[in-house]
Amino acid sequence: MSGLFRPAPFSPVVSPHARSSCAMRAAVCTLAAAVLAGCSLAPVYQRPSTPLAQTFDGAAGASLTDTVPVRSGWWREYHDPALDALVERSLRNNFTLASAVASVEQARGNAEKAGAPQYPSLSVGGTFTRSHQGRGSTTKNQSLFAEASYEIDFWGLNAANANAADLLARASEFDRDTVALTLTASVADTYFQVQSLRRRLAIARTISDDAARILQLLLAQQAAGVATELQVQQQRNALATFQAAVPALQQQLDTSVHALAVLVGTAPEQFTVSETALADVVIPQPRANLPASLLETRPDVRSKEAQLQAANQSVGAARAAFLPNLVLTADGGLSSKSLSHFLSSPFASIAASLAAPIFDGGALRGQLHASQAAQTKSVADYRQAVVSALQDVEDSLSAAQQQQLAEAADQNAADAARKAATLAQTQYTLGTVDFLTVLDAQRTLYQSEDTLVQARLARLQASVSLFRAFGGGFGITGDSDASPASSSTPSRS
């Protein structure tokens, strides 16, 4: 049982005796409210059990050397000022995030509204009447009065409804953090995609230019009777293949730039992204925390738990609705029938009403069953969020490790293909190999360099995914941060 002090009903009277009598009654009412109010019928909340291991399989045996902690502002670990500027810009201007911030304010407003019945209500009013009763007889009456009412929350109905609304507002804060986390990860992914496509486009154009020069050489050799028509047509085919890759990559690049523009909250027209060499971007390795840490660092998991706690309070409210409620009312004021004695007659009254449901056709029982089912659903939703978060981390750890191995292999392949292409060109000039060897070496070099750039992109995006999977430092809505004055935007420290 927990008590909450509330002011006594207000009754403005003039007479000292009336004031003394009303003050005594108000004190009694306040004492009764403090002693009896606040009893909660909500089930005792316990965090549902979840299948949490001691460590992540993907992090078992991994060295902590060169790892960085997951914290807000995680994108700065890539040490790319252009990326930093784009992420900060998206946090200021993205419309989806702005909508999520507004949803937080809306939920807080609803919580304020839901908490209002816990406190007394007070209204003030005045009347002036004038009536005619035959032969010019006129009656006048004027009054000024105040009315107060207060429902004693014996069973915690109002408190449970208020707590549920507060917890839903809290869930909306974590939903906002989830949107911010998804946004920052999307900006980083798309930014790296843009840089990768630029590099792939440059490679395609270089290979295409080289193929065009070789074709011109073959045409000259054909005129001299050295090259055959077959060799010329084979090179024309290779050149057309290389040239066809250019517009396809350009289209992908344009689409990625447009997507990045929308993420940062601007129109795609005239939007530009500064160029950065992917090979120069540092790929940080996020430090793998324990699986249990996801319950506190993943904003989507914390949102589900807040929703579960709200459903728990709703069960308490549904139980309390079966029980009687007591409402105290008081009114007082001044009135008179003559302007010469304006408001000279004090009046006051106090009353209490008790109401209990008898028969409602099953509405209250139906509400209880619905609230209990919602609570059961929230438990399942919370557990699903936890296991999905665990899968997210394991998938990201696996991707980060395997993509690192893949990039190393692709780097070796590209180095070998570059040497082979140089040797083939030299030996063809000397006449020791045929043209098909040169053509194959060209194609292999193009494919190897293109694959290497894609492998670098995959590593960068796997790193971003790992930061996101660990919560990205956006599970920042602390346990004490439940007031309407708390910040509406994610921390960027």
What's the rounded mean pLDDT across residues 364-370?
Answer: 93
From the list 102, 261, 184, the residue with the least C-alpha distance to 491 is 184
The letter for the amino acid at 449 is E
Number of residues that make up the chain: 493
User: In CATH, what number is assigned to the domain containing residue 88?
Assistant: 1.20.1600.10
Q: Which residues contact 69 (CB under 8 A, 6 or more apart)?
A: 286, 287
Task: Identify whether 136 is part of a domain.
Answer: no
**Span 289-323, pLDDT tens digits:** 889 988 999 999 999 999 999 999 999 999 999 99
- Sorting pLDDT into bands at 50, 70 and 90, what band is 61? low
Tokens of 300: 């989507």
- Sorting pLDDT into bands at 50, 70 and 90, what band is 10? very low
Task: Identify whether 465 is part of a domain.
Answer: yes
Residue 278 in this model has a pLDDT that exceeds 80 = yes
Euclidean distance between CA atoms 207 and 334, whole angstroms? 96
Which burial class, exposed, middle or buried, applies to 190 when counting CB atoms under 10 A from its CB (0-12, 13-18, 19+)?
Answer: buried
Other Cβ atoms closer than 10 A to 396:
24
Helix (H) and strand (E) counts in the chain? 9, 6
- Sorting pLDDT into bands at 50, 70 and 90, what band is 192? very high
**Span 105-114, pLDDT tens digits:** 999 999 998 9
Euclidean distance between CA atoms 254 and 193, whole angstroms? 11
Task: Identify whether 339 is part of a domain.
Answer: no
Task: Identify whether 85 is part of a domain.
Answer: yes
Domains of the chain: total:
1
Q: Which residues contact 47 (CB under 8 A, 6 or more apart)?
A: 295, 305
Question: What is the per-residue pLDDT for 4?
Answer: 31
Q: Is the model more confident about 262 or about 350? A: 262
Question: What is the per-residue pLDDT for 340?
Answer: 53
Task: Identify whether 488 is part of a domain.
Answer: no
Tell me the sheet residues that pair with 121. 149
**Owning domain of residue 371:** 45-119+155-323+363-469
DSSP per-residue letters across 197-243: HHHHHHHHHHHHHHHHHHHHHHHHHHHTTSS-HHHHHHHHHHHHHHH
- Sorting pLDDT into bands at 50, 70 and 90, what band is 248? very high
Tokens of 372: 């209990």
**Span 456-475, pLDDT tens digits:** 999 999 999 999 999 988 75
Question: What is the per-residue pLDDT for 339?
Answer: 53
Alpha carbon 264 to chain centroid, angstroms: 16
Percent of the chain beyond pLDDT 90?
51
* Mean model confidence pLDDT for the chain: 83
Question: What is the per-residue pLDDT for 431?
Answer: 83
